[in-house]
Structure formats: structure tokens, C-alpha cells
Amino acid sequence: MPSTLLTPYQNRRQFLATLLVGSSALAFGGLLGSRPVRAADGPFKLPSLPYAENALEPVISARTIGFHYGKHHQSYVNKLNKQVAGTPLAEQPLEAVVKATANPDQTAIFNNAAQAWNHTFYWNSLKPKGGGKPTGALAEMIDKSFGSFEQFKAKFVKVATGQFGSGWAWLVQDGDKLVVVKTSNADNPLVHGQKPLLTVDVWEHAYYLDYQNRRVDYVTAVLDGLINWDFAAQNLTAQ
């Protein structure tokens, strides 16, 4: 319909809708999905999301990602920066800080360092239109370790939903086999001699806005629609 035929009311609505779309696009950081990252007051920075905040919909809403990435993940990075300021840890890569602080005397730093690392790993474990099944060497190792892809999937959902309270579910490489493990709070397989291939965050903040208490629905939907098997395969071959 030519705009000249619209009533002023319709024109105004159209104008407002355009404004809203424009501001949403800005809020989402444009097509590349990287919101402007606030300058860090320390050595560690919040990495850009590898996709737009709304790119994981409908499985995970932009609202959840907005809080989870923009508030929770940012907060772990900010707290870590405060904790390591002026110490030798400030000169280390994040993964080294995670490993160095995995002891009872440095739990407070470990919690923020590991959560900073875990969340970046989680964002990379997901992708828009992901899911499906892995291929190649990874698919073969999954068959060998779990019997079949379906058995892996059932095991992953069972472990993820069996984690009592906050934590993470992981597919890890442990020697010559793959294993599904869960960790509590900030804990990470890296400090248990295992190599993470992918993870799903099962803290309530990861799913509560979208799924409330239905963690099983969240984990199943993530496996079916978002898991980034290319990322897992890269981690497997990076031995």
C-alpha cells in the first residue's frame, strides 16, 4: 500500500515501528552480533558473542542472552579483574589462571576465572541452526564411547538434569574415549585432566526466563537445535 494512502495514525505507527526496529538492531550490535564491549578495567575482557543476541531464538531468547552474557558473564570478568589487579595472575592467560587457582586457598578467584572461561566456551558450543549430528572422527568416537549418537544424547540429558543445583554438563575427551561429565558451580574439567569438547550451562540463569523449572526441555532443545558440532570437532582435533 502506498504510504500516501495511510492515515496519519498508521503513518505514525509505522514511524514508531521503524524507530523500534532501529534501536533493537543497535542493541543487538548489528548483524555480526558483537555488542560494543565495555573497556575492561583490567587484563581480562568480555569476548564478543559469536552471533547476535537474538540469533539463538526460539531455543534461547534474546532476553536470556542479554542478561546471561551482558550481566552474568560480564560480572565474572569484572570481579576477576578486581581480584587479580596487581598480582602475577594479571599477566597470565585466562586458562592458566583457572588451572593455577584450582586449590582450596584461591576458590574466590577460581570461581570468577573459571566462570569467565566456561561462559566463553559455552557461547562457542552453541550456534544458530546448530544441533543435528556430528560427522567424521567425532561421530566415530561418540559411537565407540557411547554405543550410538542416541545413547550419547540420552546420557547427556540425564547427566545435565542430574546435576543438583548450579553447574555445567560437558562432553569431554578423557584419554582415548569421550565421556559426559557434570561439574558444580564454576568447576571445570580442565582442572581434572580432561579436555572439554562442548558444554551446556545448567545454572538456572541459563534457562529460567525461557523454560522456568524445565531444565530437561532446555537441554534437549539446545542439543537438538543449537549445539555447535564443528566447535566440538575442532577441540577434538586440537590435541
The CB-of-200 to Mn ion minimum distance in angstroms stands at 10
Q: Which is nearer to Mn ion, 125 or 145 (CB)?
A: 125
Q: Which is nearer to Mn ion, 69 or 231 (CB)?
A: 69
94 closest CA partner among 65, 124, 120: 120
Q: Which amino acid is at 11?
A: N
Determine, following the binding rule CB under 5 A, whether residue 53 of this chain makes contact with Mn ion: no
Pick the binder of Mn ion from 46, 121, 153, 201 (CB under 5 A).
201
User: Do the beta carbons of residue 203 and residue 219 sit within 8 Å?
Assistant: no
Determine, following the binding rule CB under 5 A, whether residue 231 of this chain makes contact with Mn ion: no
**Dihedral angle sign, alpha carbons of residues 117, 118, 119, 122:** positive
Determine, following the binding rule CB under 5 A, whether residue 187 of this chain makes contact with Mn ion: no
Buried-state track 71-91, b at ≥16 Cβ within 10 A, e below 16: eebbebbbbbbebbeeeebee
Determine, following the binding rule CB under 5 A, whether residue 207 of this chain makes contact with Mn ion: no
Buried-state track 108-137, b at ≥16 Cβ within 10 A, e below 16: ebbbbbbbbbbbbbbbbbbbbebbeebeee
The CB-of-114 to Mn ion minimum distance in angstroms stands at 11
Determine, following the binding rule CB under 5 A, whether residue 203 of this chain makes contact with Mn ion: yes
Determine, following the binding rule CB under 5 A, whether residue 121 of this chain makes contact with Mn ion: no
Q: Which is nearer to Mn ion, 121 or 152 (CB)?
A: 121
Of 33-41, 79-87, 156-164, 194-202, the segment contacting Mn ion by CB under 5 A is: 194-202
